Amino acid sequence: NAGVTQTPKFQVLKTGQSMTLQCAQDMNHEYMSWYRQDPGMGLRLIHYSVGAGITDQGEVPNGYNVSRSTTEDFPLRLLSAAPSQTSVYFCASSYAPGVNEKLFFGSGTQLSVL
């Protein structure tokens, strides 16, 4: 089982560059989300989606865009990278949005913006 797959695992960008972090899941999950993990901050929700064609903002959405054209994929786009976006990014999914649903996480993308 592949589960939740994130690519790339590591990325270095220069300030102002753009890039897309990829996330794919093969479990037919309706709910997908992006978190960033920073030291001493825990995980903070960036964007989420409750199904194909539906996205919404989380706690820290500025500087990021998402789209959900298929159930399987949920890419995260950085439009103009800034050093403040240096972080570890996690994609997560669950069968359906809801209070008791277990989240499945990818292994993360470590991003450095110089």
Partner 1 sequence: GNSVTQMEGPVTLSEEAFLTINCTYTATGYPSLFWYVQYPGEGLQLLLKATKADDKGSNKGFEATYRKETTSFHLEKGSVQVSDSAVYFCALNYGGSQGNLIFGKGTKLSVKP
Q: Near partner 1 by CB under 8 A, which window of 14-22, 62-70, 71-79, 87-95?
A: 87-95
Give the footprint of partner 1 on residues 24-53 (CB under 8 A). 31, 33, 35, 40-45, 48, 50
How far is it, in rounded angstroms, from Cα 53 to Cα 50? 9
58 belongs to the binding site for partner 1 (CB under 8 A):
yes
Task: Cite the beta strand spans of 39-75 per DSSP E.
Answer: 42-51, 54-57, 64-66
Residue number with CB closer to partner 1 (1 or 40): 40
C-beta of 6: minimal distance to partner 1 in Å? 8
* Cα 65-21-51 angle, rounded to 5 deg: 60
Given 15, 69, 70, 107, the residue binding partner 1 (CB under 8 A): 107
Nearest-10 Cα torsion for 68, 74, 77, 83:
140
56 belongs to the binding site for partner 1 (CB under 8 A):
yes
Q: In a 10 Å sphere around its CB, with 0-12 CB exposed, 13-18 middle and 19+ buried, how is residue 3 labelled?
A: middle
Instruction: Give me the residues that bind partner 1 (CB under 8 A), please.
Output: 4, 31, 33, 35, 40-45, 48, 50, 56, 58, 90, 92, 94, 96-103, 105-108
